[in-house]
Amino acid sequence: MKRSPKGLKIDFSGRSLTHFGGLSLLQKYFQKLNLRYLLNRHLSFSQRNNRYCVAEEVLALLYPIILGLGRIETFHLLKHNGVFQYLAGLPAYPNPTTLRRFLLRMAPMALSRLRKLHDRMLGTMIDKPSASRKIIFDLDSTVLPLYGKQESATIGYNPAKKGRPSYHPLLCFNGLTRDYWQGELRPGDAHTATGVVELLQAAFGKIPPSVKIKIIRGDKGFYDHKTLEYLESQKALFTVVARMTKPVKRKLSALTYKTYTSGTETSEFIYQPIKWKKAYRFIVIRRPIPEEPSEQLTLFSLGKYSYQVIVTNLRINPLNVWKFYNARAGIELIIKELKGDYPLAKIPTGYFAANDAYFHLQLFAYNLVNWFKRLCLPKEFQKMTLKSLRTQILLVPGELIRTGNKPTLKFPANYWHRDVIEHALKQIDKIKL
């Protein structure tokens, strides 16, 4: 039987090793997107510290976000990884104070330009790999609890940590491609419906002319007549969870229900809430209480049934409206990934403007990774979370050597995803923008 070694010597002379070997794929992908040039061209502004250009400081934030280093304080680990700096094309790695100061300077001078660049790249990616005549927007908000003293940290809706100050960002994603589309960082006391019409206006402004069908899905926070009236003015379809007001509750017991083999029952009614300009179609789903309720919809119990109500202008049967709405669960998984795998829940500074800049950099990083999966990886990898992608590809160990004065990154001989790496390299070469 083979024995473990005795008297093993420890040596610290390795200078060409990295556990971010998969970073080489991201580097080639960013190179193909011409990302460094785009960042320098669209975001450049004057700085007192000329050691790092704007593109280098943005990349010094984007790479750790994707690699999962968490808070800015832990980014300093990359200062001791020369292979990372070589692959990323950085002269050195900035310290946390430098990065925070950059965020604070960037917010008033270049954040709007970053968002425009993000939108331009999103427009380029919309038709890749295939065009669609339909787009589905999933709307949601989330709570980011805050610790310490941050600007605009206010107490609002916070079910997990009641009474704690927070931010309350509003987000919109493409339900078909999972791309981030539009979002705003807001104080914690902002109501869910605040700013929704403005967000939708910005989101609709990015839709290419080839898209003819627009559908919006939202939870009860978006049950607002101004939102629905705006959607109808844009000839958009919608499914939004209705609040269980007293008039709505009174209608439920008087309806006639259609029963399906699963035990689910459906009905519908036309109703015009007070202060609303017109009546809308309301879909009702009724199920026996012992069944596990869906977290996606507002539940109301009456007798032995639980009820779920959706307001919609879709012209399909009630059961299909309910099934279509339930597909919105994908946005909650995206937000969970942003708060767990990306550092969305880790607020870096005490200044709202700098935190807003970091918020949009994270969403930019999210889309870059989403496009990378869609354009470069095999189908079975395209729905992976970032955490799984790191484990499988990005955190593979590597050794940088030079053969014939040419740099070579060596992966383990028995690496089990060699075919994925080779596939990705071929697909990156095929990208045409």
| Contacts for 256 with CB less than 8 Å, ≥ 6 apart | 267
User: Whole-angstrom Cα distance, residue 351 to residue 358?
Assistant: 11
Per-residue pLDDT band for 129 (boundaries 50, 70, 90) equals very low
Question: Where do the domains of the chain lie?
Answer: 13-125+352-384+413-433, 128-219+328-347, 237-319
**One-letter identity of residue 71:** R
| Percent of the chain scoring above 90 in pLDDT | 64
pLDDT score, position 126:
66
For residue 13, is pLDDT > 90?
no
**One-letter identity of residue 123:** G
Nearest to 90 by CA among 128, 122, 51, 123: 51
pLDDT digits (tens, 9 = 90+) for 168-217: 999 999 999 999 999 999 999 999 899 999 999 999 999 988 888 999 99
Per-residue pLDDT band for 127 (boundaries 50, 70, 90) equals low
pLDDT digits (tens, 9 = 90+) for 400-413: 888 878 888 888 88
pLDDT digits (tens, 9 = 90+) for 64-83: 999 988 889 888 888 888 88
Nearest to 369 by CA among 92, 106, 68, 91: 68
3-state secondary structure of 130: coil
pLDDT digits (tens, 9 = 90+) for 17-56: 888 888 999 999 999 999 999 999 999 888 776 788 999 9
pLDDT digits (tens, 9 = 90+) for 244-277: 999 999 999 889 999 998 889 999 999 999 989 9
CA-based radius of gyration for the chain: 25
pLDDT score, position 10:
79
Per-residue pLDDT band for 2 (boundaries 50, 70, 90) equals low
For residue 91, is pLDDT > 70?
yes
Structure tokens of 302? 């009456």
User: Whole-angstrom Cα distance, residue 181 to residue 155?
Assistant: 27
User: Whole-angstrom Cα distance, residue 311 to residue 217?
Assistant: 10
Is residue 394 within 8 A of residue 67, CB to CB? The reply is yes
Structure tokens of 223? 């049950």
Other beta carbons within 10 Å of 32 = 17
Is residue 242 within 8 A of residue 252, CB to CB? The reply is no
pLDDT score, position 294:
53
Determine the average pLDDT of the residues in 100-129: 88
**Phi-psi category of 34—alpha, beta or left, where left has phi over 0 and alpha has psi -120 to 50?**
left
3-state secondary structure of 363: helix
User: Whole-angstrom Cα distance, residue 110 to residue 328?
Assistant: 33
pLDDT digits (tens, 9 = 90+) for 145-163: 998 889 998 988 888 888 8
Mean pLDDT over each residue of the chain, to the nearest integer: 89
Give how far Cα 420 sits from Cα of 36, 148, 264, Å.
25, 43, 43
For residue 299, is pLDDT > 70?
no
pLDDT score, position 423:
94
For residue 136, is pLDDT > 90?
yes
